[in-house]
Amino acid sequence: MTADELGGRARASFGVYVHVPFCATRCGYCDFNTYTPDELDAGSSARSWLEGWLEGLRTELGQAAAVLGDAPRAETVFVGGGTPSLLGADGLAAVLQAVRDAFGLAEGAEVSTESNPESTSAEFFAGIRDAGYTRVSLGMQSAAAHVLRVLDRQHTPGRAVTAAREARAAGFEHVNLDLIYGTPGERPEDLRASLEAVLAAEVDHVSAYALTVEDGTALARRVRRGELAPPDEDTLAEDYELIDDVLEGAGLGWYEVSNWAAGADARCRHNLGYWHDGDWWGAGPGAHSHVGGVRWWNVKHPARYGALLGAGQLPVQDGERLTEEDRGTERVMLRLRTSEGLPTDELGDAGRRAASEAAAGGLLDPAAFDGGRAVLTRRGRLLADGVVCRLLA
């Protein structure tokens, strides 16, 4: 993307995503754009890669500010990965300072970082809280040791809960724990124990994702060889219902198909920007961006990313300009996943007829539909992709 293509586009609100493409080890199910030390140049240390990435990040954010020109201050910042906590508190403070230098932060901005429980400590959380972070998301996945082994997760079962408590003690009001359900060998009692551990941590946000077997991962190879059974759709549905029952019963209400929060203030505002057609600049190798109906994504490898920035170029791999039809389709796909749903007047005649049928069939809330909104019921959440297809047919 060039300055001419992006400059001057309308932006009512704005977020920044920062991608940290480094992990100490690779989890067997993960197909994210991340690199372990063994996958990078053996002649360079992990520290030199991190320092080079941070230098590139500062350069890219500076270029972003120049391209966007009149962009508002960042209302949300989300540092993801990879494993951002490998940067340590000082490194994450430097990331946030780079965002401040480029765009500034709006008053009351939400500033989140993902963290691996094993690379955190009480001192780490105190350091990033002092730096200005307001929200932490911890990858728990499960409280069952045998489930973590199947996922190739390195942390011990109890560490995520301890880390969440350390974050709260450091002054974080908003702490999320991530769960993965449907792992081969996970029993209902394992999932229930994980949920009980989440509640014991007293976090105000939980994300729960069904395990997917992504091509090219170690997990996919094990499934293909018959070492592990693929996730079972009926089991995944039962797991989701258990998760929803337990979390709703504890006062954590769903606000997106895979996310529950203890009230509106606990919802992840950055992710709401994605689901509500917001604008954001994604910085770092492989990061995706969207501004004013233009979407683009960066080159993936850190070496190529740094080389392009060193040559004075934006590190863009490719992009596209969305048509109004494209944007309308995405609004249906994304907003229908949220508890707010979408206004039925954004659907065409065929879509409204399909929505009426879905409401009669128990997939959309009838009362919300009568009020002019398409909102998924729990059964509808289990079949969300199919409902979207009906409304867009």
Report the mean per-residue pLDDT for the chain.
Answer: 93
46 pLDDT tier (thresholds 50, 70, 90): low
Q: Is 182 strand, coil or helix?
A: coil
- Banded model confidence at residue 10, pLDDT cuts 50, 70, 90: very low
When mean pLDDT is compared across 27-31, 130-134, 203-207, 379-383, the lowest value belongs to 27-31
- C-alpha 276/C-alpha 268 separation (Å) is 12
The DSSP bridge pattern shows strands 174-181 and 205-210 to be parallel
111 vs 1, 105, 142, 376, 390, CA distance in Å?
26, 9, 25, 29, 37
- Number of other CB atoms surrounding residue 384 within 10 Å: 16
Residue whose structure tokens are 């992709």: 385
Residues 97-101: contacts with CB within 8 Å, 24+ apart? 97/131, 98/54, 98/57, 98/58, 98/61, 99/16, 99/18, 99/61, 99/74, 101/58, 101/61, 101/62
Residue 191: pLDDT over 70 = yes
Given a contact cutoff of 8 angstroms between Cβ atoms, the answer to whether 143 and 153 are in contact is no
Per-residue pLDDT tens over the stretch 90-112: 999 999 999 999 999 999 999 99
Give yes or no for a cis peptide into 380 (omega within 30° of 0): no
> How far are the Cα atoms of 87, 131, 333 from residue 113, in angstroms, in the given order?
11, 12, 26
Question: How much is the average pLDDT of 195-199?
Answer: 97
pLDDT at position 83:
92
For residue 338, the 8-state DSSP code is B
Reported as a single tens digit per residue, the pLDDT across 321-361 is 999 999 999 999 999 999 999 999 999 999 999 999 999 99
Q: In degrees, to the nearest 5, what angle opens at C-alpha 126 toward C-alphas 280 and 84? A: 40
- The percentage of residues in the chain with a pLDDT greater than 90, rounded to a whole number, is 83
The total of other beta-carbon atoms located within 10 Å of residue 73's CB is 14
Q: Please give the pLDDT value at position 12.
A: 62
pLDDT digits (tens, 9 = 90+) for 237-286: 999 999 999 999 999 999 999 999 999 999 999 999 999 989 999 999 99
The predicted structure's pLDDT at residue 36: 83
Q: What is the pLDDT of residues 287-306, one digit of tens each?
A: 999 998 999 999 999 999 99
